Amino acid sequence: MADAGDLKSPALNGRVGSTPTLAIIRRASNAVQYTQYEIPEINMAKKNPKLVDVDKPNLYRQIFPYTEFPRVAFDNQKVEYDIPDEVWITDTTFRDGQQARPPYMPEQILRVYDLLHEIDGGTGLIRQSEFFLYSKRDRKAVELCKERGYKFPEITGWIRAVPVDFKLVSEMGLGETGILTSASDYHIFLKLRKTRAQAMDAYLYIAKAALDNGVIPRCHFEDITRADYDGFILPFAAELMKLAEEYDKPVKIRLCDTLGFGLPWSGAALPRGVPKLIHGLRQIGVPSEWLEWHGHNDLHKVQVNAATAWLYGCCAANGAIFGVGERTGNPPLEAMVVEHAQLKGLTEGVNYAAITELAQYVRKDLGFEIAHNYPLVGKDFNVTRAGIHADGLLKNEEIYNCFDTKKLLNRSVSVAITDKAGAAGIKHWIEARYQIEIPKHDWRITKIKDRIDAEYSENRVSAISDEEMFIWVRETFGGDLPPLR
């Protein structure tokens, strides 16, 4: 690993084999400073990594000072893209998603599960959905969904790394379960009060118990973006791969960015760099198909990190509908569906318009509060308020609409009527609802615009509602009112 060299850039430069350091960008007054920090050597090509069982936790204080915002560090070691031939989505709406809201009723879970299946269309794009198994309500929901007999999303479980929890998986007859295997010293030392060796032994015991019972273990490396990569992550993963070889069954690894520290840039240093987290596991022989990314949005990188995981060799990206998960939430599942289409093209069989149906259901029946400007499903996500934009829409919809929202999501582009809408906005509103083509300088457009301007001259601050517009159009057109579309 290189040292900081002359620090001409925020990355590292210098001689291979010298004392490893990081360059961390910091700003003082008007000058950018590059601060050097020594870090443990990280050897991602190591084929037989050994556990480093330390006496004190490695909390990476040079990266996570806690009394300051987390620091971004670059190490000048870039990894190449490793895009799998096939990538897919897994769902955590009924597990992590339930940690962010009151519990769903089993029938509500069933309806959402049905809609996930409808979006997937039997393609396997939304491959799995994980469920809690602890309460009677949880288990009833699993039973209802199992009765559907869908191949996708496959139903999987989630348990702690304790033997009593594994009985729940066996009782429900599931073929795969997630197992909480906390990976950072923050969790191992400060929460579990164990050593790394004790934690690894406990995790391997449960993974082996799953395999003994014909269940695929999916080990959730909790807080991987603060974990000792060489000292714990790689050795633990290597032991799991030995179990997979012994049992001739998959042993999966979920990389959990528990506090949203992940960084999408190839040059970002471990433990925060998403490309390097995945690359190192691939280097010791973990198949892409056994890797899954699970992110959180604490630092606004949840979506880009999930897509980055796909680009660097992780087949599965875990998300929840509309990003609803613990604290700041998980990658929005519907956004990952669209992300997949951008990377791989439209998938035959996927029902993209069912995303809109899912949004309508959760608003009406589950009380979801989706922001009006929320991408893809917000009430106003493809609504313009600017008159100049409305004029562009009239000339050619592609000018101000990111894709054919009507065709793909069953959402027509629209114009909101405010004091900024102008004659072009009023014309677009009328033509979108009535069977008419009308010049924007028509006297009837002018009369409605005058009425709108009068509203705002009296200090109105809200948009003109559709109900008001329908009334004003009827009054203005009188007996010449055209039929509705």
pLDDT tens, position by position, 469-484: 999 999 999 999 999 9
- Same domain for 439 and 472, yes or no, is yes
Q: What percent of the chain has pLDDT over 90?
A: 75
- Same domain for 94 and 138, yes or no, is yes
Of 61 and 429, which is predicted with more confidence? Answer: 61
Three-class SS of residue 399? Answer: helix
Three-class SS of residue 407? Answer: helix
Task: For the beta carbon of residue 402, count every other beta carbon within 10 angstroms.
Answer: 11
- Residue finishing a domain among 335, 366, 397: 366
Per the structure block, which two tokens stand in for 244? 């997979």
- Same domain for 255 and 400, yes or no, is no
Q: Judge whether 143 lies within some domain.
A: yes
pLDDT of residue 393: 65
For 41-50, 226-235, 319-328, which range has the lowest pLDDT when averaged over its residues?
Answer: 41-50
Mean pLDDT of 55-77: 96
Phi, psi at 263, each rounded to 5° = -125, 135
Q: Judge whether 420 lies within some domain.
A: yes
- Same domain for 262 and 316, yes or no, is yes
Q: Judge whether 75 lies within some domain.
A: no
Q: Is the C-alpha dihedral spanning 129, 132, 138, 143 positive or negative? A: positive
DSSP string for residues in 362-396: HHHHH-----TT-TTTSTTTTEE--HHHHHHHHH-
- Same domain for 283 and 314, yes or no, is yes
pLDDT of residue 460: 87
Q: Judge whether 303 lies within some domain.
A: yes
pLDDT at residue 389 greater than cutoff 70 = no
Rounded Cα distance between 409 and 421, Å, is 25
Q: Judge whether 114 lies within some domain.
A: yes
pLDDT of residue 12: 34
pTM: 0.85
Predicted confidence band at 394 (pLDDT cuts at 50, 70, 90)?
A: low
- Same domain for 361 and 390, yes or no, is no
- Same domain for 360 and 388, yes or no, is no
Q: What residue numbers bound the domain in which 436 lies?
A: 383-480
pLDDT of residue 232: 98
Predicted confidence band at 39 (pLDDT cuts at 50, 70, 90)?
A: very low
Mean pLDDT of 311-335: 97
Of 344 and 44, which is predicted with more confidence? Answer: 344
Q: What percent of the chain has pLDDT over 70?
A: 88
Q: Exposed, middle or buried, 139 (CB in 10 Å: 0-12/13-18/19+)?
A: middle
pLDDT at residue 90 greater than cutoff 60 = yes
pLDDT of residue 414: 80
pLDDT of residue 320: 98
- Same domain for 350 and 405, yes or no, is no
Q: Where would I find the H helices in 226-286? A: 234-247, 274-283
Q: Total domain count for the chain?
A: 2
pLDDT tens digit sequence for 109-148:
999 999 999 999 999 999 999 999 999 999 999 999 999 9
Q: Are 315 and 351 in contact (CB under 8 A)?
A: no
pLDDT of residue 4: 30
Mean pLDDT of 160-167: 85
- Residue finishing a domain among 296, 331, 366: 366
pLDDT tens digit sequence for 447-473:
999 999 999 899 988 888 888 999 999
- Same domain for 426 and 352, yes or no, is no
